[in-house]
Amino acid sequence: MSGLIEITRKDRVALLRLNRPEQLNALNEALAAELIAAVTDLDADSSVGCIVITGSERAFAAGADISEMVNMSAEEMSEKDYFGEWMQFVTARTPKIAAVQGYALGGGCELMMMCDFAIAGQGAKFGQPEVKLGVVAAIGGTQRMTKLIGRARAMDMHLTGRMMDAEEALSAGLIARVVPDEDVLPEALKAAALVSDYSRPAVRLAREAVMRAEESSLSEGLLYERRMFHKLFGTKDQLEGMTAFLEKRVPNFW
């Protein structure tokens, strides 16, 4: 680890802070590798129930590091499958919450959308300005944003390169909550603590079922949801959760 990611743990919550403040946390290859490795390791740790990803007060992440790619050829991009490594981040099954202050632009906005939901400060700004650089988004920006906010709004963002403020992002469905800037991290950690106290199998399958809705028909999604419900009756957490409810006590999932 080179210090590009700061990792702290409290109980079952892991906090990952991007640490390139002078570059507004631009996602260079080293930072990406360190972040993906950290998330992969935490995902394999059964004591971790939720991961929070944040940046600095000025920027969650202001995009990919242009200086690393400006002179690359199409052949080099294809050979390296540039940005392909981010699929490891996406497939991590532990819930991920983005705590966003300042700018979340380009790759930073895409990183936020790769998380399961985002809590943002009132001063946060979001955008996919790749068109201004003569390229397009490449870490899921055209795809995830369209699924989150719809075709018309996504076209507006990608074709004009404009920024969206926190209130518009909330109303559009890009983020889950807006709070005062100083409350972003406390709120995200509070939400993560809540998630991490629940049954790990139930949380993971709930996450998978919601994501399945983006890729299947309603009838297929309903069947998948029902099968996940059935599957959880093979876990001790289902019995503990339902028994605790009937006994009017707090369940002990861990």
Q: Which residues are catalytic?
A: 64, 107, 110, 130
Amino acid of residue 37: A
The C-alpha angle 5, 10, 15, rounded to 5 degrees, equals: 25
Q: How far is CA 28 from CA 38, 67, 209, in A?
A: 15, 9, 32
Q: Where are the alpha helices (DSSP H) in 73-199?
A: 74-80, 86-91, 107-114, 141-149, 151-160, 166-172, 184-197
Q: In what order do the strands lie in the sheet with 125-127?
A: 59-61, 103-105, 125-127, 163-165
Distance, CA of 135 to CA of 77 (rounded, Å): 13
Number of Cβ within 10 Å of residue 121's Cβ equals 22
Closest among 96, 94, 95 to 111, alpha carbons compared = 96
